[in-house]
Amino acid sequence: MKLYSPATIKDIRERYGFRLTKSLGQNFLTDKNIIDNIIEASNIGENDLVIEIGPGIGVITKEAAAKAGSVIAVEIDKNLIPILQETLADETNVKIINRDILKTDLTAVIEEEKKNFPQMESVRIIGNLPYYITTPIIMKLLEDGVPADSITVMMQKEVADRIKAAPGNKERGALSVAVQYYCQVVKVTDVPKEVFVPAPKVDSTVLRLDIRKEKPVELKDDKLFFKAVKSGFAQRRKTLLNSLASGTGLGKDKIGQILEEAGIDPGRRAETLDIDEFAKIANGMFEMNL
Ligand code: SAM
């Protein structure tokens, strides 16, 4: 029986008395092509450490183990641990950690693994994410500065559309600017809901986030950049002048001056701005506070 077939999930449910927990976003993949898409897009080499978020019954883990030097899979559901120990019994390079990814210090996990795996070259994060925490997971990985090269993950299509939205796209928001500041975003494939057991309500997309070695803009203060982005999008229908003036608390006069010096029309909406323009505003705020 193939690990990714619906019959295997049924068999596991029966043998282990395993119950799917909806609130943990347990929608298991049953399509080998999609598993292969995720593995191929993540460019795993034999000197790479793969960290998988939410292995479920191990369908992606098994394929990653065949390519990587080492795999660490972080799964919150303790009922899945004995199942993973069975399904991955032949994979000697896999470690399973029973923990909440949002409470896991991956930088420390990677440092620890380097002791066992000194030839480690790259760290690739992969997974079919639990959808209830897609954004917190991605933002935690990026804000913590986890030393990974890429994050190749499946998520609900609507979140993927927001993450990859370019300036001028109506889906563009603070999430797009934040993720694009840290990463180059590559769309891998769209995934229909029918390939999961149970089927989720929405379609999905696999994205690869290539973490930038160098930031795309020079910032005088990172916090001001994120403050400008958050304020700009806080009241989407308002003009940049109004949303920034109230969001930053700097008032219209100062914001007007900053926008003028940056050469940005104060009547524009936040979703039309690129990262460089937000950086100009943030650096203008920095100068103004001096
Ligand atoms: N990788 C498997 C697959 O593709 O079939 C399962 C993917 S399922 C969408 C999400 C997995 O993440 C589940 O196994 C779930 O138990 C696990 N999970 C949910 N919340 C988690 C958390 N906070 N930390 C780690 N794993 C979590």
Q: Is 53 helix (H, G, I), strand (E, B) or coil?
A: strand
Residue 229 confidence (pLDDT) above 60:
yes
pLDDT attached to residue 1: 79
CB burial readout 102-115, b (16+ within 10 A) else e: eebebeebbeebee
The finding on whether 29 has its CB within 6 A of some atom of ligand 1 is yes
Closest ligand 1 atom to Cα of 104: 24
Nearest CA to ligand 1 atom 21: 76
Q: Is 254 helix (H, G, I), strand (E, B) or coil?
A: helix
Query: Pairing state of beta strands 28-29 and 196-197?
Result: antiparallel
Instruction: Compute the distance from residue 134 Cα to the ligand 1 centre, in Å.
Output: 11
Ligand 1: which of 60, 76, 96, 103 to mutate, judged by most atoms within 8 Å of the beta carbon?
76
Residues 188 and 42: their CA atoms lie apart, in Å, by 10
CB burial readout 27-65, b (16+ within 10 A) else e: bbbbbeebbebbbebbebeeebbbbbbbbbbbbbbbbbb
Reported ipTM exceeds the 0.90 cut: yes
Is 37 part of any known ligand binding site? Answer: no
Residues 250 and 254: their CA atoms lie apart, in Å, by 6
Give the tens place of pLDDT for each residue, 167-195: 999 999 999 999 999 999 999 999 999 99
Within 13 Å, how many C-alpha atoms sit on residue 36's CB side?
A: 3
> What's the chain's average pLDDT?
97
Domains, the chain, ordered by start: 6-211 (3.40.50.150), 222-288 (1.10.8.100)
Beta-bridge partner residues of 52: 73, 126
Among 80, 74, 73, 77, residue whose Cα is nearest residue 16: 80
Distances (CA, A) of 284 to 17, 91, 169, 184, 250: 60, 54, 25, 25, 12
The finding on whether 58 has its CB within 6 A of some atom of ligand 1 is no
With pLDDT > 90 as the criterion, what percentage of the chain qualifies? Answer: 98
The finding on whether 12 has its CB within 6 A of some atom of ligand 1 is no
**DSSP element (H, E) containing 221:** none
Give the tens place of pLDDT for each residue, 4-27: 999 999 999 999 999 999 999 999
The finding on whether 39 has its CB within 6 A of some atom of ligand 1 is no
- Dihedral over Cα of 182, 186, 188, 189: its sign: positive
Ligand 1: which of 19, 20, 21, 24 to mutate, judged by most atoms within 8 Å of the beta carbon?
24
Closest ligand 1 atom to Cα of 61: 1
The finding on whether 150 has its CB within 6 A of some atom of ligand 1 is no
pLDDT attached to residue 290: 46
- 145: number of Cβ within 10 Å: 10
Q: Which amino acid is at 54?
A: G
Return the percent helix, strand and coil in the chain, to nearest 5. Answer: 50, 20, 35
Give the tens place of pLDDT for each residue, 232-285: 999 988 999 999 999 999 999 999 999 999 999 999 999 999 999 999 999 999
Instruction: Compute the distance from residue 27 Cα to the ligand 1 centre, in Å.
Output: 8
Closest ligand 1 atom to Cα of 30: 5
Residues 125 and 50: their CA atoms lie apart, in Å, by 6
The finding on whether 283 has its CB within 6 A of some atom of ligand 1 is no
